[in-house]
Amino acid sequence: MSGGGGMIGSERPLSCGLAFPYSSKSSVVKSRARRGLLYSDKGFRYGSASRFRVSADSRPAGTEDRECCATSSRGSVAEFTASPELIEALRGNQNSQWLAPLAVLISATVSAIIAWLIFRHTSRHNRTLQRQKATLDLIAARESDPGFSLAKTKFNEQRDNRGFDGFLAGKPPSDLREHVRTIINDYELIAVGIEFDILDEDFYRDWFRTALLTDYVSLRPYIRDVRTFTKSDKIFERFERLAVKWGGQPVDPGRGTACPKYYGR
């Protein structure tokens, strides 16, 4: 550094965005950093400071102080020592400018996640209510249908008295065949509604699990015979899958009795 306030030396930018000149002057007026303010033990000469740079002295790395100097617009020089704590504080000031946008981003993200969770919970709850209502309406309509009630009565009589093993081969009356088909088709329809999330499985199972499994066990020979005739294992597949899920056994894959009468042939 030359007299009259001229500055010489290389530049090194600080993380805070300011730059301080490296001073090679041997004698400096030391200053301290207290409460974030720099002041000189011998007083500063006030003026509009031009530029600042960290001074590079010959002391080894890790020393406690760094020599700095400031030049006023009057050409006077005030030299001081900046402690590492002050430099870290200046860096902290720069980093702090990112905290506010980051806090806003985090807050917005958390709010969006909470809103999505609330929406999902509400949607699931409403969907459950809709399924339960659809299931209840189906049950009520079925129980109030005289034709279904008659079919169920005839079905129960056949199930409890003679069963369905060889039922179709025995050429039963057409009206009895239709009653049986009404009941088993109803179970298949229920299974389809549950599988496609139209009906509520838990709601229906609480009401009809025992009845469904009882009827399924008695209908297994009937399903086997129909599959034998149609050469398709897809017949009443969803009814079987639902019954097995609730505790039943799969239909015997063995060959059943031919039953052309089932389709009126």
Cβ neighbours, 10 Å, residue 5:
18
Instruction: For residue 136, tell me if it sits in a domain.
Output: yes
The answer on 248 and 153 residing in a single domain is yes
Q: In sequence order, what are the beta bridge partners of 31?
A: 40
CB 29 within 8 A of CB 78: yes
Q: Which residues contact 158 (CB under 8 A, 6 or more apart)?
A: 164, 167, 172, 176, 179, 180
Instruction: For residue 60, tell me if it sits in a domain.
Output: yes
The answer on 134 and 83 residing in a single domain is no
Instruction: For residue 107, tell me if it sits in a domain.
Output: no
The answer on 89 and 136 residing in a single domain is no
Angle at 121 between CA 116 and CA 127, to 5 degrees: 125
The answer on 258 and 137 residing in a single domain is yes
pLDDT surpassing 60 at residue 259: no
Instruction: For residue 88, tell me if it sits in a domain.
Output: yes
The residue from 72, 94, 116 where one domain ends is: 94
How large is the average pLDDT for residues 47-68? 43
pLDDT surpassing 70 at residue 120: yes
Of 145, 226, 239, nearest in space to 189 by CA? 239
Q: Which residues contact 263 (CB under 8 A, 6 or more apart)?
A: 229
pLDDT category of residue 16 using cuts at 50, 70 and 90: very low
The answer on 89 and 147 residing in a single domain is no
The answer on 258 and 135 residing in a single domain is yes
The answer on 133 and 87 residing in a single domain is no
The answer on 180 and 55 residing in a single domain is no
The answer on 248 and 134 residing in a single domain is yes
CA distances in angstroms from 122 to 119, 126, 199, listed in the order given: 5, 6, 18
The answer on 199 and 252 residing in a single domain is yes
pTM: 0.56
3-state secondary structure of 54: strand
Instruction: For residue 123, tell me if it sits in a domain.
Output: no
3-state secondary structure of 25: coil
CA–CA gap between residue 255 and residue 169 (Å, rounded): 13
Angle at 32 between CA 29 and CA 36, to 5 degrees: 140
For residues 191 and 54, the model is more confident at 191
CA–CA gap between residue 251 and residue 35 (Å, rounded): 85
3-state secondary structure of 172: coil
The answer on 145 and 250 residing in a single domain is yes
Instruction: For residue 106, tell me if it sits in a domain.
Output: no
Predicted confidence at residue 6, as pLDDT, reads 43
Of 226, 238, 232, 217, nearest in space to 262 by CA? 226
Q: Which domain holds residue 240?
A: 129-263
Instruction: For residue 142, tell me if it sits in a domain.
Output: yes
pLDDT surpassing 60 at residue 11: no
The answer on 158 and 58 residing in a single domain is no
Domain count, the chain: 2
pLDDT single digits (tens) 70-113:
444 444 444 445 566 656 665 655 556 677 777 888 888 999 99
pLDDT single digits (tens) 147-190:
999 999 999 999 999 999 989 888 899 999 999 999 999 999 99
Instruction: For residue 15, tell me if it sits in a domain.
Output: yes
CA–CA gap between residue 86 and residue 33 (Å, rounded): 6
